[in-house]
Amino acid sequence: MEKTFHPADIESRWYQEWETQGYFAPAGGDKAYSIMIPPPNVTGSLHMGHGFQEAIMDALIRYHRMLGYNTLWQVGTDHAGIATQMVVERQLEAEGLSRHDLGRERFVDKVWEWKEQSGGTITQQLRRLGSSLDWSRERFTMDPGLSAAVQEVFIRLYREGLIYRGQRLVNWDPALHTAISDLEVISEEEKGFLWHFRYPLAGGEGYVTVATTRPETMLGDTAIAVHPEDERFAHYIGRHVMLPLAEREIPVIGDEYVDREFGSGVVKITPAHDFNDYEVGRRHGLAMINIFDDDAQISDAAPQAYRGLDRFEARKRVVADMEALGLLEKVEDHSLKVPRGDRSGVVIEPYLTDQWYVDARKLAGPAIAAVENGDISFVPRQWENTYFAWMRDIQDWCISRQLWWGHRIPAWYDEAGNIYVGADEASVRAEHAIDAATELRQDEDVLDTWFSSALWTFSTLGWPQETPELKTFHPSSVLVTGFDIIFFWVARMIMMTLHLRDEVPFHTVYVHGLVRDAEGQKMSKSKGNVLDPIDLIDGIDLETLVQKRTAGMMQPQLAKKIDKATRRQFPEGIASYGTDALRFTYYSLASTGRDIKFDIGRIEGYRNFCNKIWNAARYVLMNCQDQDCGAGGEVTLGLADRWIIGRLDATSIEVARHIQDYRFDLASQALYEFIWNEYCDWYLELSKPVLWDEAAGDAEKRGTRRTLVQVLEAWLRMLHPLMPFITEEIWQSVAPLAGVSGATIMLQPWPLADGERHDPDAAQAIDWLQSVIVGIRTIRAEMNIPPSREIDVLLRGGDEQDEKRLAENSQYLKKLTKLARVSWLSEGNETPAAATALAGDLEILVPMAGLIDKDAEIARLEKEIGKLRSDLSRIQGKLENASFVDRAPPEVVAKEREKRQSQEQALSTLQEQLARIRTI
RNA sequence: AGGACUAUAGCUCAGUUGGUUAGAGCGCUACCUUGACAUGGUAGAGGUCCCCAGUUCGAAUCUGGGUAGUCCUACCA
């Protein structure tokens, strides 16, 4: 083995081996465990959020697989309708073409080509993370099977009246030319203006002032509204005003929706272009004038002068024209929430169109109940509130998208506009007895990508066929996801699955935090603060990183900023840390918080941890290979052996509990502490005195070697779900020595412990040894005694137990603290001038002769005594408080008394010692 | 506007049912290349647990109020 750990060469080797051997596929077993991957965008690439999420799922999957479950991790991708279509359209644009130049069929072919070309990127990256996904069952939302499921669901829900077509206001993206759901609209505060316009009263005497943030929409006004109880304006209700520019008379209506305090207290009503106005319009039976076309340019429904103008151009013209007419009263600065499309970034228009909807209200009932009654539970629990809040106020879901890439809606129209829903044109004709002479036209639209994702847990398993896989693996065990898609996906999956299968899609929803950069900023391409997990695994030099982050920027000045920030944050680029270190970093950050700040410092620490593991294994192999490791022959286990075996089991119990609770931060910490602070720091050191002592017996040496390899082999298995590669690589060499055979660590049992090997006697002995060693080391360090210098140590006080411990442990003690001699100072013997440390009642004396500076030791003792005194007075205060002694539980009081006793003892010992030193 | 969450060491974070002398990693200081590992070892320094009140024998932990920050939902034209 090499002296330092180099992850690169072992990772690809092992992944390939696992995959080709088919180890990722379900292998049978009584109990099933399954996770459906949240399908990433097929043409996308891996980001830190994916990395985090996949790491957690892989740990769960590997853990359960090793526990013997019939384990499936279903892999697949979704077709990401809008995002993918946009990419391909942009490519066409570069050739000066639009999708309309190609036509629907050829365009869709192009998208498939793009999918073939780029679709492998993310799946290759998933492999780099070590994800043990069952690739043999890979699915894609546009596959024939899944497409059939989508169609089946659409038809079924339509027939049940749960899908309907209607004309409503939708969120219209004028750049992408499609409706989007309200979840895909991001509203943010932006600076704007509030224009006050005068609308002349139809009678000719005076005017009414309305305030608006969107002057251009006045061309579509069909009323103005005041609050019915507003004394200033109520008398206008029922009268009319002349709408300027359009030269139409519109009524003044009274509606409680109007806020008297805001603006002028009078609102213009534009039912076709505002969600609130739409409702007002419906209440009052107002006309709806649609003044825009699909590009959000002014349509023919508006006065001639404005037709064909872009909405923002029209705004300028309207304001200018109103001003020219003397009808512009004033303009105020005003900040308002502007809705923008999350993909296109352009301002979204409320727009009146025909769309398909899912009646979400009906589906929501059972979906709420499933969480209320515990069929599904969220971890952490608080997310259930988020879920309920949304579900109880759910809006119908607009599922049609005016795109070409996606599942085309299986609906046909005849000339009269009748709707026929069915699997294909022929079956529609047959069902409704429509002869060939009647022309039928299929709906042009496709379904929202989330519609197909909502079926993911069962469509991937072969539904609508009742496959064996469906029976075995559905409902899935747990869904691992971020809170940002609870509405988009989680809620919709629950609704759809309950309705169509009458069972939940998963029993648990584990909601993890979102990965942010070191400053807590959301990682986004436009901010240029994204990190590619692969770059953390392989490393990347500064120039390449800068280039990667600034490539394809829309605004060059932004590129400069990102360039600078990147150079500041990663002056040396990023080192290569390997997959295991990256994964372990993710786990260590997976607490219950909502944000996960990714600090590059953390991963370096875990890279070092990998190296520690590597070298610990190196030590074990060097001492055990070609040696008798206890396979045959008599074996004696020493205290250290018995202790570490007990600690191993305790760690196993702890780790299992934390995984059960989805606390990967605690699980990873427990492993880290056991491996580094107990196995490496103590046990390996304690093994040396035995293995390197000529006098030690063969049975004893065999016992130590056996413990070394068996404990190592066990914790490799324990660690494997978190660090798959390094554990496999080392396990291959260690397992035979431990008497374990098998092709791969992946399929070995996880070392579940029951605590029976806990050995209190050994634990106490090692505890004793550790405190004596630490006491001696502290004196050495604080007295500046060189580590290389051998010293003598005297022990005093203590009881028989201490004497026994010393007898058992003196070799350990001598070796680990470099002692020439350790001996017992019996009663009555003259105590030499010495530096002192305490281990319980036991005094540890390091004679000063030539080693120890008197003043330094006095200072040290005074400091110790000071600490003890303040501690004692605190305890004393407690115990003198009558109500504490009376009311606190007796065991707590007893504990305080014990503490006082031992502290007093320690204090008097140190005080005596101080006095003695002072006399020298 | 409503709701949620967060506030603990210089930084990133743990802290179970209140019983703590408040922990870890990174960073920092000193010493050490000893035969697994300097991606290392040993020993240290470092905290008004955001503030104020309350409950309690006892509060980082529970309750109320405040401050600061983050987010979600709904929005006033």
Residue range A321-339: mean pLDDT, rounded: 87
Q: How confident is the model at residue A873 (pLDDT cuts 50, 70, 90)?
A: confident
Residue range A675-682: mean pLDDT, rounded: 95
Residue range A330-348: mean pLDDT, rounded: 85
Provide the β-strand partners of residue A446.
A401, A408
CA of A37 to C1' of B4 (A): 28
pTM equals 0.92
Any idea which nucleotide's C1' is nearest the CA of A577? B39
Report the protein residue whose CA lies nearest the C1' of nucleotide B70.
Answer: A595
The C-alpha atoms of residue A418 and residue A666 are separated, in whole angstroms, by 61
Output the pLDDT for position A746: 96
Any idea which nucleotide's C1' is nearest the CA of A902? B21
Q: How confident is the model at residue A456 (pLDDT cuts 50, 70, 90)?
A: very high
Q: Closest by alpha carbon to A525, among A96, A40, A49?
A: A49
The pLDDT tens digits of the residues spanning A599-610 come to 888 899 999 999
Whether residue A871 is predicted with pLDDT greater than 90 in this model: the reply is no
The pLDDT tens digits of the residues spanning A104-121 come to 999 999 999 999 998 889
CA of A900 to C1' of B16 (A): 27
Q: How confident is the model at residue A554 (pLDDT cuts 50, 70, 90)?
A: low
Q: How far is CA A517 from CA A472, A560, A598, A600, in A?
A: 40, 19, 5, 9
The pLDDT tens digits of the residues spanning A876-888 come to 888 888 888 888 8
* Pairing of the two strands A328-341 and A185-200: antiparallel
CA of A633 to C1' of B59 (A): 58
Report the protein residue whose CA lies nearest the C1' of nucleotide B41.
Answer: A681
Residue range A652-672: mean pLDDT, rounded: 93
Structure tokens at A233: 């304006």
Whether residue A851 is predicted with pLDDT greater than 80 in this model: the reply is no
Any idea which nucleotide's C1' is nearest the CA of A679? B36
Amino acid of residue A687: S
From start to end of A382-423, where are the E strands? 397-398, 400-401, 411-413, 419-421
Nucleotides of B under 7 A from a protein CB: 3-6, 11-15, 19, 21, 24-27, 30-44, 56-58, 70, 72-77
The pLDDT tens digits of the residues spanning A171-202 come to 999 988 888 888 788 888 888 888 999 998 88
Q: What integer best gives the mean pLDDT of chain A?
A: 90
Output the pLDDT for position A855: 84
CA of A394 to C1' of B2 (A): 16
Output the pLDDT for position A244: 87
**Lowest mean pLDDT: which of A497-511, A551-565, A581-595?**
A551-565
Any idea which nucleotide's C1' is nearest the CA of A390? B73
Any idea which nucleotide's C1' is nearest the CA of A393? B73
The pLDDT tens digits of the residues spanning A720-746 come to 999 999 999 999 999 999 999 999 999
Report the protein residue whose CA lies nearest the C1' of nucleotide B36.
Answer: A619
ipTM confidence: 0.94
Output the pLDDT for position A450: 92
Any idea which nucleotide's C1' is nearest the CA of A615? B36
CA of A604 to C1' of B12 (A): 13
CA of A499 to C1' of B55 (A): 49
**Strand order across the A266-269 sheet:** A240-243, A248-254, A223-226, A266-269
From start to end of A185-285, where are the E strands? 185-200, 207-212, 223-226, 240-243, 248-254, 266-269
DSSP element (H, E) containing A337: strand A328-341
Amino acid of residue A887: R
Q: How confident is the model at residue A555 (pLDDT cuts 50, 70, 90)?
A: low
More confident residue, A519 or A500: A500
CA of A394 to C1' of B62 (A): 35
CA of A871 to C1' of B62 (A): 27
Tokens 């349509």 label which residue?
Answer: A299
DSSP element (H, E) containing A638: none
**Lowest mean pLDDT: which of A24-33, A358-367, A406-415, A798-807?**
A798-807
Whether residue A793 is predicted with pLDDT greater than 70 in this model: the reply is yes
Output the pLDDT for position A561: 81
CA of A537 to C1' of B74 (A): 43
Output the pLDDT for position A76: 95
> For a pLDDT cut of 90, what percent of chain A falls above it?
48
Whether residue A525 is predicted with pLDDT greater than 80 in this model: the reply is no
Any idea which nucleotide's C1' is nearest the CA of A383? B4
